[in-house]
């Protein structure tokens, strides 16, 4: 108990540091971004000739250019002929498994200079993630804002070597950011410990039965935390996970366990038969999606991950087959989107160092290829991501009162998602990051993942 209290106190201090830095980071001057074609992030048609006034960290006005003259003393940025969008959000990253500050900062730098202004960190060593969060919020490093989860899983999961790497100095499963949970756990205390890390959410991960998943989710919500879960928690089925009313679930692929069966443990990792979901809309999946839509559960699709894993397996014939193929994942995401489930764009992998653009761009292209119109894909990477992170009151759309998280492109991404690579400027919390100033990643910075 002494170890848990000590690490809780450390994490709480880090969280207080992060919240106290906001005022120091706020840019003092007003900026008017004039005469752009505005894509608001909510899926509405683009509007030409729009201007956005920013003061400090927030948007103060959005109006036709003729109706919004520059206030006295405001700096004017002429965006005639250009496109103005909300900052992008990657809904699934891992920044510290294991902690590597140099690598994390490099990946975050690429994100920010590529238009990503916020990320969800889906459970890591939160001692490291909390410091990255503070430094980003303060403006000490070029990075998106970070919203992170404390993980909960069954005790048998904590033999996984990743849990050892992220718990260095403490027994795996016995830290506030990675807790082993069973039927004897005092869930009120466990969630309170997770809150002490300044986490946005609890991530329900693996090796937990359905009734316990439901109890964890209920207590997390009671204490004001978001609930992020894998679509299957082993042995908890997708139906049981969704019945627990999580705010967001990750990996469309794992929904297929409702058809193929859900193994007793995460470690089984049995590849699934693709046929039942490739033959057309599957009725068992349709029932899951209907409930998700009705209760507002968001799907963090991560569909590019499975194409990435397919490519890795093809390059190494001796490699273990992925749980799910790229086409299978795409089919499930397509069915979810057509059913009206809110999609968030997440990655869960990291592009090579010589890719000049964020990994998120791979996910956006994958969503277009499976049939989503670019305007809806942009929504998945803006408003969908904001909702998945529990931050929709502050970001995801361009409206007065929201954070000044903006990107500027020279071509229309709603016409072709590849036009995101005509990015000129990212604005995060009113701070400007010009693409021309981007310092490419080096192999040395990203050595541990290549």
In degrees and rounded to multiples of 5, residue 208 shows phi and psi of -130, 140
* Pair type for strands 116-121 and 88-93: parallel
CB 431 within 8 A of CB 139: yes
Kindly state the percentage of the chain with pLDDT values over 90: 88
Strands (E), 124-275: 145-153, 174-175, 178-180, 201-204, 226-230, 248-250
Closest to 230 measured CA to CA, from 248, 214, 217: 248
Q: Are strands 343-344 and 406-409 parallel, antiparallel or unpaired?
A: unpaired
- Residue for token digits 């604005």? 427
Residue 269's contacts (CB-CB under 8 Å, 6 or more residues apart) are: 263, 320, 323
Calpha distance 345→348 (Å, rounded):
10
- What single-letter DSSP state applies at residue 42? S
Distance CA 168, CA 160 (A): 13
The answer to whether the CB of 150 falls within 8 A of the CB of 203 is: yes
Q: Which helix (H) or strand (E) holds 23?
A: helix 22-25
Q: Convert the pLDDT of each residue in 154-187 to its tens digit.
A: 999 999 999 999 999 999 999 999 999 999 999 9
Give CA–CA dist 13/383, Å, rounded: 31
Distance between CA atoms of residues 254 and 232, nearest Å: 6
Distance CA 428, CA 374 (A): 23
Structure tokens at 192: 């309170």
Segment 129-139 mean pLDDT: 97
Assign 7 a pLDDT band (cuts: 50, 70, 90). very low
Q: How far is CA 178 from CA 82, 164, 181, in A?
A: 45, 10, 10
Residue 392 CB: number of other CB atoms within 10 A? 15
Q: Please give the share of the chain, as a percent, with pLDDT higher than 70.
A: 93
Distance CA 36, CA 83 (A): 5
Q: What is the mean pLDDT of residues 221-226?
A: 98
pLDDT band at 450 (very low <50, low <70, confident <90, very high): low
Collapse the DSSP code of 353 into the 3-class scheme (helix H, G, I; strand E, B; otherwise coil) and give the result.
coil
Average pLDDT, stretch 417-444? 97
Question: What is the average per-residue pLDDT within 389-408?
Answer: 98
* Alpha carbon of residue 269 to chain centroid: 23
Contact of 384 with 344, CB cutoff 8 Å: yes
Backbone angles phi, psi at 143, to 5 degrees: -160, 150
Over range 232-256, report the average pLDDT. 98
Q: What is the pLDDT of residues 53-95, one digit of tens each?
A: 999 999 999 999 999 999 999 999 999 999 999 999 999 999 9
How sure is the predictor about 250, in pLDDT bands with cuts at 50, 70 and 90? very high
The partner residues of 432 in beta bridges, in order of sequence, read 427
How does pLDDT run across 93-103, given as a tens digit for each residue? 999 999 999 99
Among the listed residues 3, 39, 124, 12, the one whose alpha carbon sits nearest the alpha carbon of residue 406: 39
Provide the pLDDT for residue 27.
55
Q: In which band, very low, low, confident or very high, does the pLDDT at 23 lie, cut at 50, 70 and 90?
A: very low
Which is it for the CA torsion 405, 408, 414, 419, positive or negative? negative
Per-residue confidence (pLDDT) for residue 445, from 0 to 100: 93
Decide if pLDDT at 191 tops 80. yes
CB 56 within 8 A of CB 27: yes
Residue 65: DSSP 8-state: G
Rounded Cα–Cα distance for residues 425 and 84 (Å):
10
Q: How many angstroms separate the Cα of 431 from the Cα of each of 21, 264, 349, 400?
A: 15, 48, 27, 17
Cα first-last separation, the chain = 39
Q: How far apart are CA 382 and CA 57, in angstroms?
A: 18
Q: Which two tokens stand for residue 268?
A: 């089984």
If DSSP codes are grouped into helix, strand and coil, which group holds residue 249? strand
For the segment 370-388, what is each residue's pLDDT rounded down to a tens digit? 999 999 999 999 999 999 9
Count CA atoms within 13 Å of residue 421 on its CB side: 13
Does the pLDDT at position 332 exceed 80? yes
The winner for highest mean pLDDT among 19-23, 230-234, 322-326 is 230-234
Q: What is the DSSP letter of 99?
A: B
pLDDT band at 449 (very low <50, low <70, confident <90, very high): low
Domains in the chain with CATH codes: 89-393 (3.20.20.140)
pLDDT of residue 215: 98
């Amino acid at each position: 108990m002494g170890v848990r209290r000590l690490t809780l106190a450390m994490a709480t201090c880090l969280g207080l540091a992060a919240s106290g830095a906001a005022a120091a980071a706020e840019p003092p001057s007003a900026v008017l971004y004039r005469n752009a074609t505005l894509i608001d992030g909510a899926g509405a048609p683009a509007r030409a000739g729009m201007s956005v006034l920013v003061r400090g960290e927030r948007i103060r006005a959005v109006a036709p250019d003729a109706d919004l003259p520059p206030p006295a003393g405001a700096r004017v940025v002429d965006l005639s002929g250009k496109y103005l969008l909300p900052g992008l959000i990657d809904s699934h990253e891992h920044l510290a498994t294991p902690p590597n500050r140099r690598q994390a900062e490099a990946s975050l730098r690429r994100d920010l200079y590529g238009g990503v202004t916020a990320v969800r960190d889906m459970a890591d060593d939160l001692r490291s993630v909390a410091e990255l969060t503070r430094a980003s919020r303060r403006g000490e490093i070029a990075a998106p804002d970070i919203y992170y989860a404390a993980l909960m899983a069954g005790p048998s999961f904590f033999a996984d070597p990743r849990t050892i790497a992220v718990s260095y100095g403490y027994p795996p499963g016995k830290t506030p950011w990675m807790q082993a949970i069973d039927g004897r756990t005092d869930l009120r205390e466990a969630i309170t410990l997770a809150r002490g890390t300044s986490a946005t959410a609890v991530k329900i991960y693996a090796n937990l039965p359905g009734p316990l998943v439901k109890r964890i989710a209920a207590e997390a919500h009671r204490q004001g935390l978001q609930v992020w879960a894998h679509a299957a928690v082993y042995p908890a089925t997708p139906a049981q996970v969704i019945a627990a009313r999580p705010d967001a679930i990750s990996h469309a692929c794992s929904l297929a366990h409702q058809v193929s069966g859900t193994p007793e443990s995460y470690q089984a990792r049995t590849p699934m038969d693709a046929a039942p979901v490739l033959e057309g809309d599957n009725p068992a999946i349709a029932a899951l999606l209907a409930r998700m839509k009705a209760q507002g559960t968001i799907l963090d699709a991560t569909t590019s991950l499975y194409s990435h894993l397919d490519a890795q397996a093809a390059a190494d014939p001796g490699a273990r087959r992925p749980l799910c193929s790229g086409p299978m994942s795409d089919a499930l995401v397509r069915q979810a989107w057509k059913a009206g489930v809110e999609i968030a764009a997440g990655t869960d992998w990291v592009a090579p160092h010589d890719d000049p653009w964020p990994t998120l761009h791979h996910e956006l292209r994958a969503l277009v290829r499976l049939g989503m119109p670019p305007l809806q894909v942009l929504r998945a990477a803006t408003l969908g991501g904001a909702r998945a992170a529990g931050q929709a009151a502050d970001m995801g759309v361009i409206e007065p009162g929201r954070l000044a998280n903006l990107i500027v492109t020279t071509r229309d991404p709603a016409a072709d998602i590849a036009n995101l690579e005509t990015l000129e400027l990212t604005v995060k919390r009113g701070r400007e990051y010009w693409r021309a100033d981007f310092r490419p990643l080096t192999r040395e910075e990203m050595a541990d993942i290549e």
